[in-house]
Chains A and B, each alone.
Chain A
Amino acid sequence: MNFFNQDLTSLHADLVSKKITATELTQATFDNLKGTDAKVDAFLNLNEAAALKQAAELDAKGIDPDNLLAGIPVAVKDNIVTKGLTTTAASKMLENFVPVYDATVVEKMQAHDMIIIGKTNLDEFAMGGSTENSAFKTTKNPWDVSRVPGGSSGGSAVAVAAGEVPVAFGSDTGGSIRQPASFNGIVGMKPTYGRVSRWGLIAFGSSLDQIGTMTRNVKDNAAALNIIAGNDVKDGTSSKREVPDFTAGLTGDIKGMKIALPKEYMGDGIDPKVRDVIKAAVKQFEDLGATVEEVSLPHSRYGVPAYYIIASSEASSNLQRFDGIRYGFRADDVKNLEDVYVRSRSEGFGDEVKRRIMLGTFSLSAGYYDAYFHKAGQVRTLIINDFNKVFENYDLIIGPTAPTPAFKLGDEISDPITMYMNDVLTIPVNLAGLPGMSIPAGFADGMPVGLQLIGKSFDESTLYKAGYAFEQATDFHQATPDLGGAH
């Protein structure tokens, strides 16, 4: 079965009433997925035997009527480690890597009896915006298979958009959940930095990385975030703040909500058709009783260079662990230790990863540190100050998630700067550590366009509340791609 006509609430009701067993649901998920994935290539690795075994155990134990997630099939981005299940980060470097422990979010999924269906494709080490940097396969956008799914969580976004699973988990360092959510017409949440444990997320930019949730609607997204959020002793940056029930407050009533629209997010670099979708969304929010006013985030345009310095610097440090010694790829016929390092890294990493390592190493190197890394950290402060100023007077910020709809496969992969500019609207949110969510807001030339909602620190609830009200008033989230008779 596909998941186009079911949400978590209806699936849960069917499981509790035994209209369908967890085993039947799991089997039906794999049966449908195999046909669909031949067209879109969202998955790198399926977990069929273990998933069916887990489902059978759950059926024997019985579905807890109070646990909405029990028996729900879930896809996990392949940079989140899963014990005993190969985790590659879509890199030749980790082609045969079998983790010996579970990420904290995976432990939480399992504690809630979610059924892990498989691991999804991504840009190698989550570096990219099209999933074309995967060492293993090219994921296609289900709305038009000649187009990219976005990235880096392209596989997770497509798994949800193509109806393969109702929930997927991704990671977002500069837009890697929100941009593919926008390109595929689904809901993607990057929570506040520290809201979700990063333990077991293969590190890219440690001051920016955050795991988040991808679903077909807002309520399901909030329910999924409920179970993975919270403090973790294994991640010293995870917050000790209380985690609210993110599904509470989904009333559809946002009268009096004060919304800001940054003029920089509606400028010349944004596709006019995307701007039209956002203008219509602004009108929708006003019709719902919110006020929308133009504001300025004057340092937005410096987000891209600041981010690529900071993220690449952190990446160059984090990726030093891939040395061909303890785990991962080791080059053949190496003669000495230096050879192990240099040849294993040169043969194991793809071009984009090498580019980031080079940029980071350069930005941190003697003579350049002040002009690049130090300066980028100062600009980061100014970007945070811009947001703080707006949030003195507004409840949330809206704008486009990405400057364009999904572009054609192959169009941008050879031009790094064009590819980097895709992140211009999502990057500032990571630099400031804020929560950001993309929801379906319309179409441009038949391709989905996402609306980005940006909230105050640890105020995911307001994003869900506003997103839910918008969703109730529109039907964009109910549109489904035509996969040529796959459903």
Chain B
Amino acid sequence: MAEERINAEQVKHVAELAKLEFTTEQLTMFTGQLEKIIGMFEDLSKVDTTDVPVTSRVSDRQNALRDDVAVKSNDREALLANAPQAANGLIKVPAIIDESGDGE
């Protein structure tokens, strides 16, 4: 078994995938904790799972079909009331590529 399961560089990479960022202190803490937890995960390697199928769902339904009938959905104004910023019936966000800010 590898002595080092996950290092700070890998944790940083995973954080990027997850759209999270950490301070140096947090990175140290999470690296140590994830190392231990992933070590616990490796217990599973002791289990012989040859030819064992994967279970990903335990519902007794296969498909959930219904008639394609239009129904009233949520009110736009009510939905937008929860948006951090909205204007003219739309959600307002900073410019996607403007690094200097959007002047909002």
Contacts and interface: CB of A to CB of B under 8 A. Distances in A.
Co-complex (A, B): yes
Contact of A381 (B21, B30, B55, B79): B55
Interface stretch (A168-176, A249-257, A371-379, A461-469): A371-379
A354 B30 contact: yes
Nearest to A380: B55
Given A100-B74, A308-B37, A355-B33, A207 B58 contact: yes
B25 to A, nearest CB: 12
Contact of A337 (B38, B57, B93): B93
A19 interface: no
B49 A382 contact: yes
Given A100-B82, A361-B14, A362-B14, A236 B64 contact: yes
B47 A379 contact: yes
B58 A433 contact: yes
A335 B101 contact: yes
A98 B82 contact: yes
A422 to B, nearest CB: 14
A343 interface: yes
A236 B61 contact: yes
A309 B43 CA distance: 12
B54 A374 contact: yes
A305 interface: yes
Most chain B beta carbons < 10 A, residue from A320, A339, A377: A377
Given A194-B59, A240-B61, A336-B94, A326 B83 contact: yes
Contacts of A111: none
Contacts, number: 180
Contact of B60 (A239, A345, A349): A239
A310 to B, nearest CB: 8
A358 B82 contact: no
A372 B41 contact: yes
B52 to A, nearest CB: 4
How many of chain A's residues touch chain B, expressed as a range? 35 or more
Contacts of B15: 358
B56 A335 contact: no
Give the secondary structure class of A's interface. Answer: helix
Interface in B3-35: 6, 10-11, 14-15, 17-22, 30, 33-34
A97 B82 contact: yes
B69 to A, nearest CB: 11
Nearest to A207: B57
B68 interface: no
Contacts of B61: 194, 236-240
Contact of A357 (B18, B37, B45): B18
B88 interface: no
B47 A299 contact: yes
B55 A334 contact: no
A302 B44 contact: yes
B41 to A, nearest CB: 5
B89 interface: no
Nearest to A376: B44
B100 A381 contact: no
A98 B78 CA distance: 9
Contacts of B53: 378, 381
B6 A378 contact: no
A355 B34 contact: yes
Interface of B: 6, 10-11, 14-15, 17-22, 30, 33-34, 36-38, 40-45, 47, 49, 52-61, 63-64, 66, 74-75, 78-79, 81-85, 91, 93-101
Given A207-B56, A239-B61, A361-B14, 4 more contacts: A100-B82, A378-B47, A380-B55, A431-B58
6 contacts: A100-B81, A194-B59, A237-B57, A237-B59, A326-B91, A381-B53
